[in-house]
Structure formats: C-alpha cells, structure tokens
C-alpha cells in the first residue's frame, strides 16, 4: 500500500438521518486501494452506520459514495464490489465447513468442480486447509471466524467490510486473529475496512484510522500520528491514556507558545505540539503519555532535558511493565482551590520497581508534551 494508491472508497459529504436523529454529519473520506482502514469510535458514534452505507445496506440521506470510481447511488448491496463479515459470524451450524464457505458462491454460475476448487483455495487462505468436511458446530470461535472470512473472500471482492469481527473472541484468540487478519490482508491485497471500538485493535491493525465522534470524523491519520499528535483533547483521551494538567499561557512569540504547568514548570512549545481543546474543556491543558516520563531512582542518571519531583501514591506491577500513580510537587489551582497534581506513568521492564510513599525524580522532555487550547 503506497501513498499514491488509487482511491477505492470515496465519501463526499455523506449525511444520514434516522428520522430526527442525525447519525452521519458530513463524512468526507478517501480509502485507498489495498489499504487496511479502520473506523474507530465510541458506541453510537456512527461507525457501523457508515460501514453499512458503504455496503449498501443503508441509503444515505445526501452526499456521494463512490467505490472504485463508480457512484453507488443506484447500486444495491448485492451488486456492489464489497462483502461483509459480521461480529456474529452467521455460520450455519448444521452445514459443513465447505458448505458454509460455498454459500458465498450461491449465485455463481460456475460448475461444481470449479466451486469446490475455489472453496479449497479459500480455506487454505484462512489456514483451514483440510477442514472442509468438519461440521461447523464443532469449530472454535476463532475457526468459525475464519470460515466467515473464507466465505466473504471466496468471490474476491474489491473491498472487505468487517463489523467488529473479533469482539466475540477471548483476548488471546483476538490477538492471534489480529495478526492473522493483517497477514491475510497483505496476502490478498484487498481493501479492508474494519469497524472497531477497541483503540488498541485499530492501532495494531490499520494503515490509517478515522476516529469518529457524534457522526463526524475527528481525525484521520496513521496510528503513530494519531497516538503522538492527537488533534483534539477528546481524540487524545480516546486513544490510549494521556495525563492532562492545567496550563497557564504566559505568551506567544514567533510561533512558540510559553506555558506554565504546575509540577512541570515553564515550557516552550512549537506550533506542531499544539492541538485543539474541546468545547467542554475549561481552559488550556497540557497532555502527555504515561510512558514518556521516566522514574529516576536515587543515584541514577538520565539523559532527559528536564526533571520534576513526585511522591509515589500507587504501584501496579504487570510483569512486563509497572504502572505508577504519582503526585507531582507543585499545586494546581482548579475551581479556585489548590489541588494535588496527579499523574500516571508506566516504566517498562528493566527498571527497579519503586515503593509507595517514596519520593522520586521524574525525567522528561518538553518534546513529548501537547498543548490543548
């Protein structure tokens, strides 16, 4: 998948009303051919509605949907070059695996022998070679999901639409299927559009992600950009964990904003570290990810430009990492009262675990801060 790949799906000012309810509020987006694209957002944000309008299961109220350059306005779902995989697999338990997969060919005019060869090919593609004669009800959740994938891929659609396909699986199986789906997508080269409310799943799997709130796209970016440079405080809060501290703006000069932050002191931030606040925010805020600060034990050295001090309130040991709740030195005036400045952070395996109640140093860099204003 390259930057210059041709557009596969284009939505232009797509609006969807359910009676009074405005579910999609002007969706503009281009999904490229061969891309693994995710629609991510909280429950009710409209991601499933958007997927279903691409599939043709829902009519749009206004706007345009193009697939592979063709306007889909009068094209019913079964004539679109798309196929859909649902959360609830829709596997027929009384049929064999092969019969379930062949269901994807029910309207195909090919001979039995040709269809049988296609079924074998599709099963091999999803790692179920030799499973054709098994009864579908005797499969594990992960295997059923593979059958559903094979059935959706057997006609080689241009676009595969996936509606929370892994959410019924347990954590371990889900992580395994995530990796397999990525491999499968690279192998077949088909455009995948995944709907998920799981930010980790979206970050792991996608070339690009559209984060949706309230029927609108808040940010469309690659995983790294979304994580490091969320355009609004709400996006930052939804993707992973971010600490927020109130910030006092001291001044602006030559594109650099100077702020004072309780516990951190005075910092200067260039324009690319400045994002937007949300309407419900009460004032400017500084945000940073928990892993961007490092605990420095007594006598230890570090190479970060800045240092703060804090007391450890809570330690949660996870094996591969340790989470800390800390109280920074310095008080934040919030609602007119002095409040302790609390943050959370995590250190990866390999550093000493420090105990609750310990006074500690924290090393950090202004480059990992984002100002929301």
Ligand X SMILES: Nc1ncnc2c1ncn2[C@@H]1O[C@H](COP(=O)(O)OP(=O)(O)OP(=O)(O)O)[C@@H](O)[C@H]1O
Burial class (CB in 10 A: 0-12, 13-18, 19+), 55: buried
Query: What is the 8-class DSSP label of residue 177?
Result: H
User: Least distance to ligand X from the beta carbon of 202, Å?
Assistant: 13
Question: Phi and psi at residue 271, in whole multiples of 5°?
Answer: -55, -35
List binders of ligand X among 168-207 (CB under 6 A).
197
Assign 60 to helix, strand or coil.
coil
User: Least distance to ligand X from the beta carbon of 41, Å?
Assistant: 6
Question: Phi and psi at residue 324, in whole multiples of 5°?
Answer: -125, 140
Which of 203, 155, 213 lies closest to 178 in space, CA to CA?
203
In contact, 5 and 32? CB cutoff 8 Å: yes
Choose between 21 and 317: whose C-beta lies nearer to ligand X. 21
> Token pair of 283, please?
């004032």
Angle (CA) 362-365-366 rounded to 5° is 125
Choose between 47 and 289: whose C-beta lies nearer to ligand X. 47
What is the total count of residues that contact ligand X (CB under 6 A)? 12
In contact, 96 and 144? CB cutoff 8 Å: no
DSSP 82-101: EEEE-TT----TTSBHHHHH
User: Least distance to ligand X from the beta carbon of 50, Å?
Assistant: 7
User: Least distance to ligand X from the beta carbon of 48, Å?
Assistant: 3
Choose between 48 and 275: whose C-beta lies nearer to ligand X. 48
In contact, 213 and 41? CB cutoff 8 Å: yes
Q: Which stretch binds ligand X (CB under 6 A): 16-24, 90-98, 121-129, 170-178?
A: 16-24
Choose between 10 and 58: whose C-beta lies nearer to ligand X. 58
Choose between 96 and 216: whose C-beta lies nearer to ligand X. 216
Residue nearest to ligand X (CB): 48
The Cα–Cα gap between 351 and 181 comes to 35
User: Least distance to ligand X from the beta carbon of 211, Å?
Assistant: 11
User: Least distance to ligand X from the beta carbon of 11, Å?
Assistant: 14
Choose between 34 and 41: whose C-beta lies nearer to ligand X. 41
User: Least distance to ligand X from the beta carbon of 94, Å?
Assistant: 29
Neighbours of 130 (CB within 10 A): 10
Which of 336, 311, 333, 314 lies closest to 324 in space, CA to CA?
314
The Cα–Cα gap between 10 and 13 comes to 10
Choose between 34 and 56: whose C-beta lies nearer to ligand X. 56
The Cα–Cα gap between 69 and 62 comes to 18
Of 6, 13, 18, 318, the residue at the interface with ligand X (CB under 6 A) is 18
User: Least distance to ligand X from the beta carbon of 45, Å?
Assistant: 4
Choose between 3 and 20: whose C-beta lies nearer to ligand X. 20
The Cα–Cα gap between 30 and 370 comes to 28
User: Least distance to ligand X from the beta carbon of 57, Å?
Assistant: 10
The Cα–Cα gap between 165 and 75 comes to 25
Q: Which stretch binds ligand X (CB under 6 A): 15-23, 121-129, 203-211, 285-293?
A: 15-23
Choose between 7 and 44: whose C-beta lies nearer to ligand X. 44
Which of 182, 192, 292 lies closest to 236 in space, CA to CA?
292
Of 2, 3, 21, 336, the residue at the interface with ligand X (CB under 6 A) is 21
Choose between 46 and 246: whose C-beta lies nearer to ligand X. 46
List binders of ligand X among 114-173 (CB under 6 A).
none
**x/- letters, 22..61, toward ligand X (CB under 6 A):** -x-----------------x-xxxxxxx------------
User: Least distance to ligand X from the beta carbon of 85, Å?
Assistant: 15
Binding residues for ligand X, rule: CB under 6 A, are 18, 21, 23, 41, 43-49, 197
């Amino acid at each position: 998948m390259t930057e210059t790949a041709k557009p596969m799906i284009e939505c232009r000012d797509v609006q969807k009303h359910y009676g009074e309810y405005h579910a999609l509020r002007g969706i503009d987006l281009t999904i490229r051919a061969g891309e693994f694209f995710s629609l991510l957002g909280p429950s009710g944000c409209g991601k499933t509605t958007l997927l279903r309008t691409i599939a043709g299961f829902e009519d749009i109220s206004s706007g345009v949907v193009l697939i592979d350059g063709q306007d889909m306005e009068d094209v019913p779902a079964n004539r679109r070059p798309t196929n859909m995989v649902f959360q609830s697999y829709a596997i027929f338990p009384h049929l064999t695996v092969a019969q379930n997969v062949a269901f994807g060919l029910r309207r195909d005019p090919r001979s039995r022998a040709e269809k049988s060869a296609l079924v074998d090919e599709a099963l091999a593609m999803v790692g179920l070679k030799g499973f054709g004669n098994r009864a579908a009800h005797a499969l594990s959740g992960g295997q059923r999901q593979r059958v559903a994938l094979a059935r959706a891929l057997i006609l080689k659609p241009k676009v595969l639409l996936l509606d929370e396909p892994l959410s019924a699986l347990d954590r371990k199986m889900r992580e395994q299927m995530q990796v397999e789906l990525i491999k499968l997508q690279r192998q077949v080269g088909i455009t995948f559009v995944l709907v998920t409310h799981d930010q980790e799943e979206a970050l792991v799997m996608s070339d690009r992600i559209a984060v949706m709130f309230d029927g609108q796209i808040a940010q469309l970016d690659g995983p790294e950009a979304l994580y490091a440079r969320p355009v609004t405080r709400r996006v930052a809060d939804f993707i992973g964990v971010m600490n927020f501290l109130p910030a006092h703006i001291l001044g602006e000069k030559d594109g650099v904003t100077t702020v004072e932050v309780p516990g951190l002191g005075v910092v200067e931030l260039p324009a690319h570290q400045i994002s937007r606040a949300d309407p419900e925010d009460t004032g400017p805020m500084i945000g940073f990810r928990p892993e961007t600060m490092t605990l420095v034990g007594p006598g230890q050295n570090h190479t970060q430009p800045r240092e703060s001090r804090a007391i450890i309130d809570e330690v949660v040991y996870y094996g591969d990492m340790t989470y800390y709740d800390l109280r920074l030195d310095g008080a934040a005036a919030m609602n007119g009262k002095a409040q302790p400045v609390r943050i959370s952070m995590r250190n990866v395996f390999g550093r000493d675990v420090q105990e609750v109640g310990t006074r500690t140093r924290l090393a950090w860099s202004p480059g990992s801060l984002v100002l929301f204003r």
